[in-house]
Amino acid sequence: MKRQLLTLCMLLLAVPMLWAQSNGQTDFNKNWKFFKGSVNEGEKATLNDDNWRTVRVPHDWAIEGPFSKEYSTRCGGLPFHGEGWYRKHFTLTEEQKGKQVAIEFEGVMNNSEVWINGHYLGKRPFGYIGFEYDLTPYLNEKTENVIAVKVSPEDLSSRWYPGAGIYRKVWLNVNNSIHVGHWGSFVKANNVTSRVATIEIAIDVQNHLKSDEIVTITNKVISPEGKVVKVLNTKTVAEKEATVKSMQSFNLLSPELWSQEQPNLYHVVTEIKDNKGKLMDTYTSRFGVRDIKFTAKEGFFLNGKLTKFKGVCLHHDLGPLGTAVNRRATERQLQIMKDMGVNAIRTSHNPPSRELLEVCDEMGLIVIDEAFDEWKIGKIENGYNNYFDEWHDRDLRDMIRRDRNHPSIILWSIGNEILEQGSKEGWKVANKLATICHEEDPSRPNTAGFNNYGGSIKHKLADQVDVVGFNYKPAKYAELVEEHPDWIIYGSETESVTSSRGVYQDTFLEKYEKHEDKQVTSYDIVGPVWAYPPDMEFKFEKENPSIMGEFMWTGFDYYGEPTPYGGRDNVTNGQWRADWPSKSSYFGAVDLCGFPKDRFYLYQSEWTDKPMLHVLPHWNWKGYEGKEIPVFVYTNAEEVELFLNGQSLGKKVKGVDKATIPVSFRFYEGPNNFESPYRLRWDVPYQKGELKAISYIDGKVINEEVIHTTIKAKSITLEADRQVISADNGEDLVYVTARAIDENGHFCATFNGELSFDVQGAGTFEATGNGDPTMTIVPQSKKLKFFNGMALVIARAKEGVEGTMTITAKGKRLKSATIKVETKLSATAKREL
């Protein structure tokens, strides 16, 4: 969490953004050379790589495809395994010469090895955590330097799509001989009230000199408004060729608390000066002041406010972008989740990107930061279990040290559904990992997600963690609370219903295993044997209020694990090929493009207070005239009236007029037809025309939604998520949604015709998608099909170019559409240009 800044003034200008530009940490992401395949002596500085492809990292080579049945659909049907090489040529500037120079990778997927000028620096098997190497002893100050990175991810090494390559950012860290160490600050707020909080600042001072040095450490604490609220000074001895810790603390009066409603963020600017007063380093840490408390009887409290987890699990891919990290893509994901009512994220099942945690800090989302999906017992042939003994201690400690200043993080998770639950000795591993969490960060509790209900309890693994997470066990909540009254419990993974956006087969409310079209109905009733509709989690949490809430599986669809198609965990050895071309998940409340499915609105109706109303299914049922179509309505209003072609079909009261849905899952012993108080249902004899719902509170109209029977699609409409984006660094993105419309202006919810996109002007084409889990057109294609009336194009602003980006969509026998998006430079970027 660091950025060196030239002056305090620069920091104050950059308060909203932690990672402001500086001369100490340099963006090292452009102009990498890439080659996919084996390279003889690829680490040699003299190797001729002129013919290699030039790429900008973050980069995911596997998302370029092709999608193929040859690759495991459990991992998205994409070529993420094999060998790839990255090389970067650079020359030190005059200011960098004579300094301590290190390279920092935020994440490389996976089994990375790194060289500088042919000198081997090390390896890192785990792709989800960052690392730093000291380059100083091997640098050429007068001639060119070459960094080489070999990446060799293996097949059968992941249970989902992991991506491949240098998929997170890279930095060149240039420091004086005495500086703050890597991830070398820890800012804690203790004894927090609205009146006062004790702030503790721990700084690791690294001395590369061969002599002890007396240094002065100044910590300037800056408020969310950019005002200096405290200056602390201390002197210490920086021991030769060692790292020492400096501790300072003070009482912050009337702190501006970090909360979900007001996520206030402070900064600490640390300055280190030598005994002559020369400034050696400036290091910035961002933190928040908040109080967290967990209780067995009542649940989780944030700043004294009882807070229920309305959470989602998120994998790390970004849909059409693959796993290549992008801040705007991450921000958009989390904005969509907040719109659904989400207040918490579980990083399933690995350490997340820096960007995700920063955005959660800024949005007020709380986070469970998860370390591992495997311990010593493997789930897959080439999984993390092969590296656990050697690497688990460092990987877990590094995750905590990297992430510990984020106020959004409330729990460290040591594992997900680990197979040691079935082992008598498994508790020892859990205890060791939990102890590491306490050693590195005593300010937060730890947790794990347990799916083996009997084993995790019988073998004492649940006793080792501070907060106990259970996956898919709502029917056991009452038993757990009664038999373990001292446990703090939540649903660490819930629901697992599958659905395809906009798909409603003629099976209607039949709970089937598979369908011939490789899709899943969006009535949100179908799932694997452990899964259940959201309604059941709502029900059992309401009956057991001490359960702290849930993290539903999953917020977004992701590449891989196309349950119910393809295969089964721990049965098909990772090679899920039975139901090609199904290759991405159906679990999400939104699809791969971020388009909401119906389940999004069911959660929104329970998790939000802003008036909302949603009707399903579509109303295009030619050939079903007179047959009853189940119509569901989701709302947070009191009652809803439904109309067909102007004729009232009656009012229904939420919670009173219940909707019958089929339910059956493990450990559930209730009726197979559940009367849900969370949905409203009408069985409507089909006739084409207009279906309209009106919601009421206290007899007053609150919302209205209308769906129509549509005729042949005639045109395309385009809608951008933002009208102005940044041109500062060439990283900002705009997401443009295309919809098919008939001649009456109505959305064609069943249209699957072809279209193409074009981007001109101040932007470049980035990717496309449509949310179809069976589509095998790669995201780099400008041509694709609508999926149930919708498609997406992503465009990138050109770096340093102010102007207008023009995006055009065309379709066969469709009227084309064009939209314009402005790209702007900030005042700082203009000065630098």
Domains of the chain listed by start with CATH number:
9-17+21-174 (2.60.120.260), 177-287 (2.60.40.10), 296-607 (3.20.20.80), 613-708 (2.60.40.10), 713-832 (2.60.40.10)
% helix, strand, coil for the chain, step of 5: 15, 40, 45
- The mean pLDDT value for 187-207 works out to 97
Q: At what angle do helices 534-543 and 598-607 cross, to 10 degrees?
A: 20
pLDDT at 832: 78
- The mean pLDDT value for 47-71 works out to 97
- The mean pLDDT value for 654-664 works out to 97
**19: pLDDT confidence band, cut at 50, 70 and 90?**
very low
pLDDT at 569: 74
Alpha-carbon distances, residue 536 vs 371, 541, 560 (angstroms) = 29, 8, 26
Judged by average pLDDT, the poorest of 385-394, 562-571, 623-632 is: 562-571
Give the integer Cα–Cα distance in Å for 796 and 763. 5
Give the integer Cα–Cα distance in Å for 608 and 601. 10
Give the integer Cα–Cα distance in Å for 15 and 13. 6
The 3-state DSSP class for residue 13 equals: helix
pLDDT in tens, 748-796: 999 999 999 999 999 999 999 999 999 999 999 999 999 999 999 999 9
Q: What is the overall mean pLDDT for the chain? A: 95
pLDDT at 2: 38
pLDDT at 577: 87
Check pLDDT > 50 for residue 78: yes
Check pLDDT > 90 for residue 269: yes
The 3-state DSSP class for residue 403 equals: helix
The 3-state DSSP class for residue 686 equals: coil
pLDDT in tens, 492-541: 999 999 999 999 999 999 999 999 999 999 999 999 999 999 999 999 99
Tell me whether residue 421 is exposed, middle or buried, using C-beta atoms within 10 angstroms of its C-beta: 0 to 12, 13 to 18, 19 or more.
buried
**4: pLDDT confidence band, cut at 50, 70 and 90?**
very low
Whose CA is closest to 521, among 532, 529, 510?
Answer: 510
pLDDT in tens, 784-832: 999 999 999 999 999 999 999 999 999 999 999 999 999 999 988 888 7
pLDDT at 6: 29
pLDDT in tens, 120-179: 999 999 999 999 999 999 999 999 999 999 999 999 999 999 999 999 999 999 999 999
pLDDT in tens, 376-403: 999 999 999 999 999 999 999 999 999 9
By annotation, the residues acting in catalysis are: 417, 493
pLDDT at 572: 63
pLDDT at 12: 31
Dump the DSSP string for 238-283: E-TTEEEEEEEEEEEES---B-SSSB--EEEEEEEE-TT--EEEEE
Take residue 475 and report the two structure tokens written for it. Answer: 């029917």
Q: At what angle do helices 354-363 and 327-340 cross, to 10 degrees?
A: 40
pLDDT in tens, 608-621: 999 999 999 999 99
* CA pseudo-torsion sign 447, 451, 454, 456: negative
- The mean pLDDT value for 669-683 works out to 96
pLDDT at 14: 32
Q: Could you tell me the pTM of the whole model?
A: 0.96
* Integer Rg of the chain from CA: 27
Check pLDDT > 60 for residue 15: no
pLDDT at 571: 66
